[in-house]
Structure 1
Amino acid sequence: MGASDTRTRDGVETARQPVNRLPYRYDLDGLRGLAIAFVVLFHVFVGRVSGGVDVFLLLSGYFFLGSQLRYAGRGDASPNPWWPIWRTVRRLYPALLVVLGATAVAALWWVPQMRRVEIIDQFTASLLYLQNWELASQQADYNVASGTVSPLQHLWSMAVQGQFYLLAIALAMGVIWARRAGLDLTRWVSPLLVVVTVVSFSYAWWMHLVDQPLNYYSTWTRMWQLTLGGLLALHGHRLAFHPRLREMFTWVGLAMVLSTGLLVDGAALFPGPAALFPVGGAVLVLLGGGQGPVAGWLANRVMRWLGDIAYPLYLWHWPLLIVSLALWERETVSLAHGVVVVAASILLADLTHRRVEMPLRQHARRPMAGERRARDARSQLRTPGAARARAVGGGALCLILVALLTVQGVWQVRLHNAGGVLLDAARYPGARALIGAQVPDATPKPDPELVGSMVSKIWIEGCISLFGEDPQVLPVDERGADCVFGDPDGTRDVYLVGGSHAEQWVTPLNVLGREHDFRVIPLVRQSCPTFAEERDDLFEPDCVEFNQQVLTRLSEADPDLVISTTTRPYIEQGGRMEEVPDSYPTFWDFLADHDIPFAGLRDNPWKTFEDGSELSVPLCFLDIGDIHECGVVEDEFYRSTDPAAAHLEGMPNAKAVDTSAWFCVDGHCPAVIGNVHVYRDSNHLSVPYSYSLAPLLWEEIAEFL
């Protein structure tokens, strides 16, 4: 923290500034700008993670944590936490609010397919610097640019940075408050940072093997990059190296930073051990001490300017890229398109820096103990000038903040209303149109921008086992009566088993159970169809464990009927047509051996691109409004006959239910049937449409009940 002479003022021990202040490292501004420039170029032209964000985080720790701790080491440091927080808010929020406001206008008004609840939630998460956790909760992998990717995806790193800043301020305030209480904690700061760095890096290494998507976003796995920067700020200048060795450090370090994206895929590896390559390169540049021709080049006027605009450049480039892809209906970036995006990003970044960041940034030095900075600021507002102009600008940004925070609330009200009111069956017959119901002229419901977030009660009540949850636990055992649907007092039991394509049938079964006095008990897990033996090498070991619990429960319960799906495409291998996976009949044989009745439902169509990747049906409808173009050609998904029938017809108490006529008419499976959107994404049924399937489903299972 640095030694300093002390004296007393107003009874409080204070300190003068250290005599030998460290020179500012302008070459690191250039490194920061270059790192972000490579992030932009790789996002736009390469579609890979360059490692620039990892370097940016290290430098954030170097500059911010180092600054906070050096200030805390001063005896006359102010104990008021408001000042560092306010200074940080004025540094980060103005540019962020301008970019988020512009993105909201462009994405929500001009790009209908971005009016999705998960993106609306991300606006609030970005404002509150929680975007990394929001993306993790949405199980959003860090994807390359396309028209369907969130325009706010890149703000995960700003969230990590913002959370770290608060922790850094808290640490510095703790040192200041402890000293005022007579306890010197400065000697413990560096050991603490060493421990945090080692533990965080070890955690990132472990998480890379366990859950890489969460590893990529987590604040705790990224912490080592920031605290390592802080340690270098405190102690890096004490490491003495020969000048020529320092020059070599800078050359090698810069080469490592710039080559990272060409050598590794950061999204699949960082912040695990592979991140030591770009971070290690940045460390070498730091240890280079700003000496040599490379450091001089990094500190030249152009590179320092690039460092100045690095933050707004990072903010602007991704929304411009994603929104333009969606507007121009492109999945890839052409050279001309990329050049336009990069040029526009640089121009907007420079304008944002000069017209928004600099005027609203706090330029005065941080106040010392006893200063009355707030009183002085109020007095400046009494006369016309820069202070009033800053206040007006700040007020305008506050209005943008309020407007953006309101968006999520409005969307949640719309979602609540859409999900809480049953559609009028006369105007929106859904599947009943297939059995003679009249279909009046009406706009399809529910709103396609909302339907994706409308889920069944199994999800709402937590009755489905999710990725990462203990496969040994059946949710019905934890949730009890909350996970029993239909008639809770019914004397017959229908078990619904399988993955999410089985889960969606709980909506009509819940209706039928109440009408016909049977209970519906779900034993379902995300992406986990039911089988007795895994023969396809498609499903996770956790799924095998979960299915063992399901089989044990079914053999003990002896249900009146088991329902599940019987077909699916080999989507993992790019397949687009339905198949009967080899694992499925092992479950059917188990049921036959235990004399348990089974109704096997043929799967509904999946909307995919030619390579097997998924295409959201409601978002397609939002984009082009064509129920046929956004639907599926029947013989591109369905076989000529139900492939499960041959297996089930010869088994006792088993029935193959061919559901294809519930989704397809005259060789086509449209996006809308009976004025109701059939799907909530690329392959799952919407809640309103599955609700309308109740009478058709009853005709098929009534014989068992």
Structure 2
Amino acid sequence: MTLAPPRPASVTDPGPLRRAAGSPPKARDAAFYRHDLDGLRGIAIALVAVFHVWFGRVSGGVDVFLALSGFFFGSRVLRTAMTPGASLWPGPEILRLVRRLLPALVVVLAASAVLTILIQPQTRWETFADQSLASLGYFQNWELANTASDYLRAGEAVSPLQHIWSMSVQGQFYLAFLLLVFGCALLFRRVLGRHQRTAFVVLLSALTIASFVYAVHAHNTDQATAYYNTFARAWELLLGALVGALVGHLRLPMWLRTTFAVVALAAILSCGALIDGVNEFPGPWALVPVGATVLFILSAANRVADPHTGGRMPWPNRLLATRPFVALGSMAYSLYLWHWPLLIYWLAYTGEDRVNFLEGAVVLLVSGVLAWLTTRYIENPLRYGPAPAAADAAPSLPLRARLRRPTIALGSVVTLLAVALTATSFTWRKHVTIERANGKELSGLSARDYPGARALTENAKVPKLPMRPTVLEARKDLPRTTEDGCISDFDNVDIINCTYGDENAERTIALAGGSHAEHWITALDLLGRKYGFKVVTYLKMGCPLTTEQVPLVMGNNQPYPKCREWNDKVMDKLIADRPDFVFTTSTRPWNIKPGDVMPATYIGIWERFEEAGIPVLAMRDTPWLVRNGKPYFPADCIAEGGDAISCGVKRSDVLSERNPTLDFVDRFSVLRPLDMSDAVCRPDICRAVEGNVLLYHDAHHISTTYMRTMADELGRQLGAATGWWADR
């Protein structure tokens, strides 16, 4: 997010005032420039940082910045578009944005890259590389939106670059708004004449309403993805731009302006405490911080609209126009860039989920120092040119050369950093791609060298060999159904049927439910081809067979209404298709205590299968790896120097002593309980590695390589449950 967006020196002047970094404001600045909005920006960044660091909440400060960015940028672009004879070539404005925004961003990204290498395991480097490229390309919000909707990445740690989503939203808005306004002005300037302002107001109003309606819809449909959606956020910037088009024509009495300012500040200051922005934005509740920002802008409207006011502002505006608030606002952009990665890297270093008061204070202090240095020595010189001291350093040179030489040198350094960061990111991604390409041999690993589950079920000897899949191979060690697109994603409620095993067999096992049913496809496919049955899939990400009215996504507890819709459809189809057996999971981990449980919402499923006479192969769910209430990746743990034991979990923490499904066997004759826990866990511990094979490709899905080694034990249990064969 652009916390100190490119702005005009005045909201009424046709051209910006330019002054050297660090120089005092001139009289003309004081008469026209809205210093109180700089102060509001300072308040907003303080709220963002404090709520992030100490409370782990969204303060609404980001939304304040979005509205201010729309106001400042929109005002200037609209003023240029409506000025007769003004150039409508967007090149200079785009160059101005690049000079304003990229230098500080590049420096923070480069520093974050170094900290990532020093602090985070190499399993996280690929994600950082992807997100650093997305940040430089200003599409980080879409990268995060894809991650939010990717079930297989739901357990990944919080990114140190997550906060840059808002900057990407603004960058995309700036470019689109600039091209839209200049394009309309170029086409219709002569036709509209003096009615240009009215036309732009109508256009912006329509776009604002359309974006807000879309935001409400997207919020209700998929809030986690909508949070990062440019189109769902555009109304916040558009509303600021719309106010910029109207503010010069308002006449408001002082008492009303004071009321506006007080109410606006109260709403902004209380927003983080009263509204859960993480779950409520960008829906209707975002109107609180955005609307408050608009009120605050309007509270000093007379200052620029009515010369008879003498420049008087309400007392809240005068307070925010004082030096401390303005100074904080002037480095808001850099402070925003620095505070979040420093917080995340400190948490990664300490292994804690939150910081205490002292740690938080240190993070904020260091962030403030780095923000001041970045603003003083990187942002301002490249934005305004070097300070006078720098210009006097070489008096023998012409003035233009004295001004340009330090700026060119600094710009060159920043450019080299950007090139190095881009090259390094692409190089690491290439390295990971090559290693995973070599991982195709995982399907042909020697059973003697890599016994996997057979080390537990058959006491197979385990030679000393490197673990496979490696920590970099693990993430892509996925079942065929995922690669073949045979599992419905979060947004899809269609039933996708794919066939595995012996496709020509008459006997059928329907594999139904969520991804914890899905990861058994690897073993079932092998067994189907061996024993002559086919496996037909009925799968949806994160959606087990359940009668729950308001399902939640396991792991983040987000509402999942499409899971309910899909369940209604899939149960009807399963009963209509009448497979010989339905293979699905029958337990889930407890969220409130150790062990596992068969949820009450599964009972309705068993009742329907009982009525239809369709037997169920009820598989006990595999353990979820959780520490301090949050899932973790064993590959990350091993990459950080852990081993099979330290990166595992106690069996009693994740599995109850008795399979909960057994309590319902007498009640439902169709249940055929399966339990592969002893192929995953030892009597006291569930290790991260068994038989030289990594068990999980994330926090709770069995790796495809390990699942192959479980086929023999699953075959023994399936043979007994189905009566189709008998394996000893």
TM-score (norm 1): 0.86
Residue 686 (structure 2) pairs with residue 663 (structure 1): no
Residue 407 (structure 2) pairs with residue 354 (structure 1): no
| Residue 644 of structure 2, aligned match among 619, 627, 637 | 627
Report the Cα offset of residue 686 of structure 1: 1.6
Counterpart Cα distance in 2 of 1:535 and 1:704: 37
Counterpart Cα distance in 2 of 1:205 and 1:553: 33
Aligned to 2:137: 128
Residue 500 (structure 2) pairs with residue 485 (structure 1): yes
| Residue 501 of structure 1, aligned match among 512, 516, 523 | 516
| Residue 448 of structure 1, aligned match among 471, 493, 508 | 471
Report the Cα offset of residue 336 of structure 1: 1.2
| Residue 587 of structure 1, aligned match among 602, 605, 612 | 605
Deviation string 1:323-370 (CA, Å, 9 cap, x unpaired) is 011112222111111111001111111111122212222669xxxxxx
Letter in 2 for 1:528: C
Contact 1:316–1:345 (Cα < 8 Å) also in 2: yes
Task: Go from structure 1 to structure 2 and tell me whether the alpha carbon gap of 1:384 and 1:644 turns closer, same or farther (over 3 Å shift).
Answer: closer
Task: Go from structure 1 to structure 2 and tell me whether the alpha carbon gap of 1:538 and 1:401 turns closer, same or farther (over 3 Å shift).
Answer: closer
Letter in 1 for 2:223: Q
Aligned to 2:4: none
Aligned to 2:281: 270
Identity within the alignment, %: 39
Task: Go from structure 1 to structure 2 and tell me whether the alpha carbon gap of 1:192 and 1:334 turns closer, same or farther (over 3 Å shift).
Answer: same
Counterpart Cα distance in 2 of 1:383 and 1:20: 23
Letter in 2 for 1:397: L
Letter in 1 for 2:203: L
Q: Between Structure 1 and Structure 2, how many residues are aligned?
A: 661
Letter in 1 for 2:569: Q
Aligned to 1:605: 623
Aligned to 1:429: 451
> What RMSD, in angstroms, separates the aligned Cα atoms of the two structures?
3.3
Task: Go from structure 1 to structure 2 and tell me whether the alpha carbon gap of 1:311 and 1:557 turns closer, same or farther (over 3 Å shift).
Answer: same
Aligned to 1:342: 364
Residue 170 (structure 2) pairs with residue 149 (structure 1): no
Contact 2:126–2:429 (Cα < 8 Å) also in 1: no
Aligned to 1:321: 343
Aligned to 1:96: 105
Letter in 2 for 1:615: Y
Aligned to 1:73: 82
Counterpart Cα distance in 2 of 1:522 and 1:631: 31
Counterpart Cα distance in 2 of 1:546 and 1:213: 20
Q: Secondary structure at the match of 2:582?
A: strand
Instruction: Within 5 Å, give how 1:35-114 maps onto structure 2.
Output: 35-112=44-121
Contact 2:551–2:564 (Cα < 8 Å) also in 1: no
Aligned to 2:266: 255
Task: Go from structure 1 to structure 2 and tell me whether the alpha carbon gap of 1:117 and 1:406 turns closer, same or farther (over 3 Å shift).
Answer: closer
Instruction: Within 5 Å, give how 1:463-482 maps onto structure 2.
Output: 463-470=486-493, 473-476=494-497
Aligned to 1:377: none
Task: Go from structure 1 to structure 2 and tell me whether the alpha carbon gap of 1:601 and 1:92 turns closer, same or farther (over 3 Å shift).
Answer: same
Deviation string 1:491-545 (CA, Å, 9 cap, x unpaired) is 43221111111111012222333344432211012232225x5599879554343
Task: Go from structure 1 to structure 2 and tell me whether the alpha carbon gap of 1:36 and 1:495 turns closer, same or farther (over 3 Å shift).
Answer: same
Task: Go from structure 1 to structure 2 and tell me whether the alpha carbon gap of 1:643 and 1:259 turns closer, same or farther (over 3 Å shift).
Answer: closer
Task: Go from structure 1 to structure 2 and tell me whether the alpha carbon gap of 1:515 and 1:363 turns closer, same or farther (over 3 Å shift).
Answer: farther
Contact 1:513–1:519 (Cα < 8 Å) also in 2: yes
Counterpart Cα distance in 1 of 2:704 and 2:616: 24
Residue 38 (structure 2) pairs with residue 29 (structure 1): yes
Report the Cα offset of residue 624 of structure 1: 4.8
Letter in 2 for 1:475: I
Report the Cα offset of residue 228 of structure 1: 1.0
Deviation string 1:59-91 (CA, Å, 9 cap, x unpaired) is 000111111121122333334333222221221
Q: Secondary structure at the match of 2:626?
A: coil
Task: Go from structure 1 to structure 2 and tell me whether the alpha carbon gap of 1:636 and 1:384 turns closer, same or farther (over 3 Å shift).
Answer: closer
Residue 704 (structure 2) pairs with residue 687 (structure 1): yes
Instruction: Within 5 Å, give how 1:491-640 maps onto structure 2.
Output: 491-531=506-546, 533-534=547-548, 542-571=562-591, 574-609=592-627, 612-640=629-657
Residue 308 (structure 2) pairs with residue 288 (structure 1): no
| Residue 218 of structure 1, aligned match among 229, 237, 255 | 229
Contact 1:147–1:322 (Cα < 8 Å) also in 2: no
Deviation string 1:173-203 (CA, Å, 9 cap, x unpaired) is 2034315786766542110111112222233
Counterpart Cα distance in 2 of 1:535 and 1:69: 50
Task: Go from structure 1 to structure 2 and tell me whether the alpha carbon gap of 1:149 and 1:535 turns closer, same or farther (over 3 Å shift).
Answer: closer
Deviation string 1:36-63 (CA, Å, 9 cap, x unpaired) is 1210111111221111111100000011
Aligned to 1:370: none
Aligned to 2:307: none
Task: Go from structure 1 to structure 2 and tell me whether the alpha carbon gap of 1:536 and 1:567 turns closer, same or farther (over 3 Å shift).
Answer: farther
Report the Cα offset of residue 486 of structure 1: 2.5
Task: Go from structure 1 to structure 2 and tell me whether the alpha carbon gap of 1:286 and 1:494 turns closer, same or farther (over 3 Å shift).
Answer: same
Which range is displaced more, 39-48 or 146-155? 146-155
Aligned to 1:202: 213
Report the Cα offset of residue 651 of structure 1: 6.2
Structure 2 gaps of 5+ residues are 1-10, 15-27, 304-312, 387-399, 554-559
Counterpart Cα distance in 2 of 1:342 and 1:634: 40
Aligned to 1:303: 325
Structure 1 gaps of 5+ residues are 5-18, 365-379, 477-482
Q: Secondary structure at the match of 1:150?
A: coil
Contact 1:415–1:454 (Cα < 8 Å) also in 2: no
Report the Cα offset of residue 384 of structure 1: 7.9
Contact 2:54–2:354 (Cα < 8 Å) also in 1: no
Letter in 2 for 1:510: D
Letter in 2 for 1:178: L
Task: Go from structure 1 to structure 2 and tell me whether the alpha carbon gap of 1:248 and 1:645 turns closer, same or farther (over 3 Å shift).
Answer: closer
Counterpart Cα distance in 1 of 2:513 and 2:678: 22
Aligned to 2:167: 158
Letter in 2 for 1:530: L
Contact 1:87–1:362 (Cα < 8 Å) also in 2: no
Which range is displaced more, 284-293 or 42-51? 284-293
Contact 2:123–2:639 (Cα < 8 Å) also in 1: no
Task: Go from structure 1 to structure 2 and tell me whether the alpha carbon gap of 1:600 and 1:444 turns closer, same or farther (over 3 Å shift).
Answer: same
| Residue 148 of structure 2, aligned match among 134, 139, 142 | 139
Contact 2:519–2:701 (Cα < 8 Å) also in 1: yes
Counterpart Cα distance in 2 of 1:147 and 1:333: 20
Deviation string 1:3-58 (CA, Å, 9 cap, x unpaired) is 99xxxxxxxxxxxxxx9999221221121122112101111112211111111000
Which range is displaced more, 587-596 or 694-703? 587-596
Counterpart Cα distance in 2 of 1:546 and 1:387: 59
Aligned to 1:458: 481
Counterpart Cα distance in 1 of 2:581 and 2:156: 44
Report the Cα offset of residue 313 of structure 1: 0.6
Task: Go from structure 1 to structure 2 and tell me whether the alpha carbon gap of 1:151 and 1:438 turns closer, same or farther (over 3 Å shift).
Answer: same
